[in-house]
Structure 1
């Protein structure tokens, strides 16, 4: 690990973590809160001592500390999740409007209700005719300022009702779903996959489900016929998949880009992997000046069994976070800016450069 400087504690801070695919962003934040609420990096020593003196301590109940995240990732997605601690939570809004980068894998031949592999199969479409050259040519249409229509199976509301409720119950939409402006600064194909282990979702739309969705869309004057044009892979054949890399503005629907691109290719497609590789200055790979690296999830996952401390009394996960965080306020800066400097404050720890553990 790189060397890190110990600032006066406790800290209010921002740092990025590498969220794994599977858990929700909320569950990840709750796990992080369990750690930081018992860390001297973020909680005053006297409060930690008071907590430790209690006869019974619920290790699964976080302490009283402010924590938040700068933009939710769905369970399927992995990658950069910006975390704010203490007064760092007030800085999180800047990450809602920042530039983001994603890496996603599109699997052709099937469209799903959620536009990703966690949804149900809505319809099948031909895919063998699609070539890499066709994809590269079609991408030009999706670069720059574009208009995107959010999927009907989304939590966006129309007249107070989530869109997915119209689709599932066959309630006609009162009007077309409003398109939204987004900017795609860069979009390229980075990998073509003739063979892979991705498979179409097993769960399928019933005829009743299809009719409900068609009825919902037709209510807004849209034509929707969910007709299968099957092109089933052979025993030793995989439907074509490819990887896209993109840099986009806030509010861009990556799944919609994949969905719409597949239509442009005369096929159907959905997302099978999705990684947020950058959110503002926090990135998986620090390639630009001012980039902040993220804390690997494996480090935080092992923290519950990591009891060894270094000469500063820090555990490995704390040292990893300290090396990557962005201080919003430390104990000393709080004293320096306090309008009532005679008020009692925790004694600051002298800053010093230390060898990482």
Structure 2
């Protein structure tokens, strides 16, 4: 800790000022960027009584520093220094680590820690951003996708592998974020490099059949320029590791089975309708031997609905009522998955790649970061974003308690590290002293042995016999 920070810490203790510098978590809502959440915190903190002494202290320090400079400048009112330990997409919710003042120096540690996410994967549609906020690039069939197929495909994403980040990401190329190339429809200077990632835990929490959930695919279709740009980056054939012969065989069997079922469904849609003697007849009898096949759902001649219901045979009515709704009309299936991953992992990429792995497409419909380091949703060290709008009497005691807990843990960690270093020091000195004593003893023994050998040799006796006799 620098001299400036030490003096500020001592001053706070003398004045009995509450400490507001440290690290805490905030539960980010959907629809807001990480930067916007921090700006909201900064504004609320700046206008509060809790941070007033801290801001006065900061301004006094700025005035002292300005007084010692040759060219003095006008000192502006300081703002609360705040940063985050890992961004979250606007779509995502959950843990956002925030650091205040000297706490920002500890944020780097949270970029390297493991994180736990829960995501909803929606199959059948692929977008340029790999989530439901992007523009649609592709539509793919989903009738063949089953819960067992998805669970088996998840095996490909456990452990260590190389992941291709999405085009819409915060990664930079030649100093420019990738998403800016995408928004400006400009080609990227070079291929996006894969990054080593690790998935420590991955499981399916819930399987949602078509029609059992409210997740809908986006409808905003991408233009030609966006599709052409995506083709340069989005190469599905190279996203996943090579498939095994067994998985290729299963995929082929699923495709053939799907074709057979589609053919059977089309045959079932053909029904026989009796031929009419007059073109104005709206309903024909089923016993007409000259009946012609007609596609179910075809529009009949305009007649009253009650008349049609009265004249249609009972069997036909039953078949229409019993006809199951097609999977396509029910919407795509979805799955809720939970994963614990290392730094630099993109959940959107996993959702996209999972769709490719099951012979379809997929996007991320929901995302929640439930844990980052020692901060978890619902814990005492995580502030709810909604508390900021409930007044200082609500959020201030909670934040003060969180900062105090962070300080206590930091001091305990430093004390433990100091105790370990202190306990190791005497051991090293003792070991070093024993080594010196051993070397001295060996040197004296060697010197005595050489002297004895010379004496024995001068007397004409064999040194080996003398040592044997001594033994």
TM-score calculated relative to the size of structure 2: 0.56
2:88 is matched with which residue? 73
Q: 2:354 matched to 1:261?
A: yes
The structure with the greater share of residues assigned to strand is: 1
| Number of aligned residue pairs | 290
| Contact 1:170–1:213, Cα closer than 8 Å, also in 2 | no
2:331 is matched with which residue? 238
| Deviation at residue 8 of structure 1 after TM alignment | 5.0
Q: 2:220 matched to 1:203?
A: yes
Query: Using the alignment, how far apart are the partners of 2:179 and 2:383 within structure 1?
Result: 35
Query: Using the alignment, how far apart are the partners of 1:298 and 1:166 within structure 2?
Result: 35
Q: Which segment drifts farther, 110-119 or 149-158?
A: 149-158
For 1:28, what is the secondary structure of its paired residue?
Answer: helix
Query: Using the alignment, how far apart are the partners of 1:33 and 1:301 within structure 2?
Result: 13
| Deviation at residue 161 of structure 1 after TM alignment | 4.9
TM-score calculated relative to the size of structure 1: 0.72
2:124 to 109, 112, 124: 109
Deviations 1:163-220 (A, max 9, x none): 4455566665554321100110000010111211111112111234323433x3499x
| Contact 1:9–1:40, Cα closer than 8 Å, also in 2 | no
RMSD: 3.3
Q: 2:23 matched to 1:14?
A: yes
**CA distance change for structure 1 residues 183 and 109 in 2, over 3 Å: closer, same or farther?**
same
**CA distance change for structure 1 residues 205 and 8 in 2, over 3 Å: closer, same or farther?**
same
Q: 2:272 matched to 1:184?
A: no
Alignment of 1:1-357 (within 5 A): 9-44=18-53, 47=56, 64-164=79-179, 175-194=190-209, 195-214=212-231, 216-217=232-233, 237-286=330-379, 293-303=381-391, 315-327=393-405
Deviations 1:283-327 (A, max 9, x none): 0145xxxxx541112212222xx6xxxxxxxx1211222333455
| Contact 2:120–2:367, Cα closer than 8 Å, also in 1 | yes
**CA distance change for structure 1 residues 323 and 177 in 2, over 3 Å: closer, same or farther?**
same
| Deviation at residue 140 of structure 1 after TM alignment | 1.1
Unmatched runs of 5 consecutive residues or more in structure 2: 1-15, 60-75, 240-261, 263-325, 412-471
Unmatched runs of 5 consecutive residues or more in structure 1: 1-6, 51-60, 224-230, 287-291, 307-314, 334-357
**CA distance change for structure 1 residues 327 and 62 in 2, over 3 Å: closer, same or farther?**
farther
The structure with the greater share of residues assigned to helix is: 2
